[in-house]
Amino acid sequence: MEYGIEDLICGDLKEFSLATENGSRKGKMGRKRNYDDDTREYKSKNLETERRRREKLSTRLLMLRSLVPIITNMNKATIIDDATTYIKELKGEVQSLSQELHQMEATIDETTVTKIDEVEVAEDMNKWVVQTELRVALIGANKLWVKIIIENKRGRFKKLMEGMNLFGFELTDTNLIATKGALLIEGCMQGMDGERLEVHQIKKLLQDIISDI
Amino acid sequence: MEYGIEDLICGDLKEFSLATENGSRKGKMGRKRNYDDDTREYKSKNLETERRRREKLSTRLLMLRSLVPIITNMNKATIIDDATTYIKELKGEVQSLSQELHQMEATIDETTVTKIDEVEVAEDMNKWVVQTELRVALIGANKLWVKIIIENKRGRFKKLMEGMNLFGFELTDTNLIATKGALLIEGCMQGMDGERLEVHQIKKLLQDIISDI
DNA sequence: CCTCACACGTGATGC
DNA sequence: TGCATCACGTGTGAG
């Protein structure tokens, strides 16, 4: 070994510290003179304080370490590094999650609003002028799909049914909504005796029935 | 001051370190002898390495600090402490958010599944034995709410309507769904000339009409 | 042998 | 004045 006197000094300091650690000399023997009376070694005033500080710090570091899931290294620096990356990760996760949640809430609110609008429209239907709508489409050899929206007046549905029956048609797979304001009929139409149906012909017929009532 | 010779030693060491810092003696003059040839001072082998390590560690600590929003103290220990509490906070937030999100997705999926079930039920309705259901409730002086579910057979709806009309009733605010398998009618029933209605009487009447067809 | 990371004790400093 | 915190240089052990 080629260390100088400083090495000895440091060695002495080291031995001193170990001695204080192992011997656990913690008696306060005249604070003014920070010497061990037996060995004449110097004792710093904030030695134990500093020890506690270091211990506390390493404890906190271990607590932080226990929270971080991914471990790259047991180094102090990498512990902090992993913690920072983990915090960033969590931040991003929180952001994306809240964004997703808000988006979902927004869509739900949107649909709710739409429904509410529809309800309000339905409730105020009698104040409206109902736009008459008549659609007929061929969906089979002798099968038609029809959709009828007309203003609902007293006995109008009955008359419509009677008119259709008069011409020998029957509605199947029907959806019907009748409110005070409007009447919606949607379903499939079939000739009762299997005769062929023509779209424009049926449409004209339905128009006649509607305008008649 | 009442320090002993050790104080002088440490003081020397301190002065040495400052000298090396300010003078920046970084020349490698025969690694075997770690002395500054001019002043005969000892230089530890891993001095700069340790310096870099400390610098890196404090830098990481500052980076970690910059990520944590709430600041209680600038201490090293409290920095780590705040970081741990922040990580816990973020974890809880992520958990609650994901839980909320999953709950919302679950409800949405539930309704979707319900709808799909309904659709499948409707599509397979013709394979089922439709449970006849007849409900009548008084909701006004001369106004009844009725719900009818019967097996849908050819011309049955027409006959039902005819039967009801025969007894002088009219359906308002009606919802009607007619498939190949079942027929559902729900709506309000009113006597055409404003006569009073009795629940059990109307129910019996409707039962007669249904059983007749 | 070397490199790296760590704990240690100490002086300095702000409150 | 104390008290708490920090940076520093160093010894040491593991890889």
Q: How far apart are CA A145 and CA A80, in angstroms?
A: 70
Single-letter amino acid code for the residue at B195: E
Higher model confidence: residue A153 or residue B108? A153
Residue A96 confidence (pLDDT) above 50: yes
A98 touches chain B (CB under 8 A): yes
Query: How much is the pLDDT for B35?
Result: 46
Contact assignment for B64 to A84 by CB distance below 8 Å: yes
Cα of first residue to Cα of last residue in chain B, in angstroms, is 119
User: Does the pLDDT of residue B166 top 50, yes or no?
Assistant: yes
What's the rounded mean pLDDT across residues A41-53?
A: 81
Average pLDDT, chain B: 69
pLDDT digits (tens, 9 = 90+) for A130-187: 677 888 877 766 778 888 888 877 667 777 777 777 777 777 777 888 776 778 888 8
- pLDDT of the residue at A159: 76
H/E element, B110: helix B76-123
Q: Is 50 exceeded by the pLDDT of residue A208?
A: yes
Q: What is the DSSP letter of B52?
A: H
Contacts of A158 in chain B (CB under 8 A): 161, 165, 170
Which of chain A's residues have a Cβ under 8 Å away from the Cβ of B57?
76-77, 80
Q: What is the DSSP string of chain A?
A: ----HHHHHHHHHHHHHHHHHHHT------TTS-B-TTT--B--TTHHHHHHHHHHHHHHHHHHHHH----S-SSHHHHHHHHHHHHHHHHHHHHHHHHHHHHHHHHHHHHHHHHHHHHHHHHTGGGS----EEEEEEEETTEEEEEEEEE--TTHHHHHHHHHHHTTEEEEEEEEEE-SSEEEEEEEEEETT-----HHHHHHHHHHHHHH-
Token pair recorded at residue A59: 């404890």
Mean pLDDT of chain A: 69
Contact between A178 and B172 using a beta-carbon 8 Å cutoff: yes
Contacts of residue A64, Cβ cutoff 8 Å, sequence gap at least 6: A79, A80, A83, B80, B83, B84, B87
Long-range contacts at B170-173 (CB < 8 A, ≥ 24 apart): B170/A154, B170/A155, B170/A158, B171/A157, B171/A178, B171/B146, B172/A178, B172/A179, B172/A180, B173/A178, B173/A179, B173/A180
Region of residue A122 (phi > 0: left; psi between -120 and 50: alpha; otherwise: beta): alpha
- Sign, CA dihedral B194-B197-B202-B203, equals positive
| Cβ-contact A199, A191 below 8 angstroms | no
Q: Say if strands A182-191 and B143-151 run parallel, antiparallel, or are unpaired.
A: unpaired
Q: How confident is the model at residue B45 (pLDDT cuts 50, 70, 90)?
A: confident
Please tell me the predicted confidence (pLDDT) of residue A78.
Answer: 93
What residues of chain B, 160 to 199, have a C-beta less than 8 Å from chain A?
161, 165, 170-180, 187
Cβ contact A135:A147 at 8 Å? yes
The mean pLDDT of B76-89, rounded to a whole number, is 93
What is the predicted pLDDT for the residue at A195? 64
Asked if pLDDT for residue A111 goes beyond 60, the answer is no
Tokens of B15: 């002065």
Q: What is the mean pLDDT of residues B45-73?
A: 89
User: Rounded mean pLDDT of B176-203?
Assistant: 74
Does B52 reach chain A within 8 Å, measured CB to CB? no
DSSP per position, A36-62: -TTT--B--TTHHHHHHHHHHHHHHHH
CA distance B168 to B201: 14
Would the CA dihedral through A13, A16, A20, A22 be positive or negative?
positive
Cβ contact B89:B142 at 8 Å = no
Lowest mean pLDDT of A11-15, A184-188, B24-28, B89-93, name the range.
Answer: A11-15
Chain D positions with any atom < 7 A from a protein CB: 3-12
- Which of A127-136, A176-185, B79-88, B108-117 has the largest mean confidence? B79-88
Residue A66, CB, less than 7 Å from strand D?
no
- On whether the CB atoms of residues B111 and A92 are closer than 8 A, the answer is no
Q: What is the pLDDT of residue B212?
A: 73
pLDDT at B139: 73
| pLDDT score recorded for residue B135 | 81
Residues 6+ apart with CB under 8 A from A80: A61, A64, B57, B60, B61, B63, B64, B80
Residue A76 predicted with pLDDT over 50? yes
Structure confidence at residue B191 (pLDDT): 67
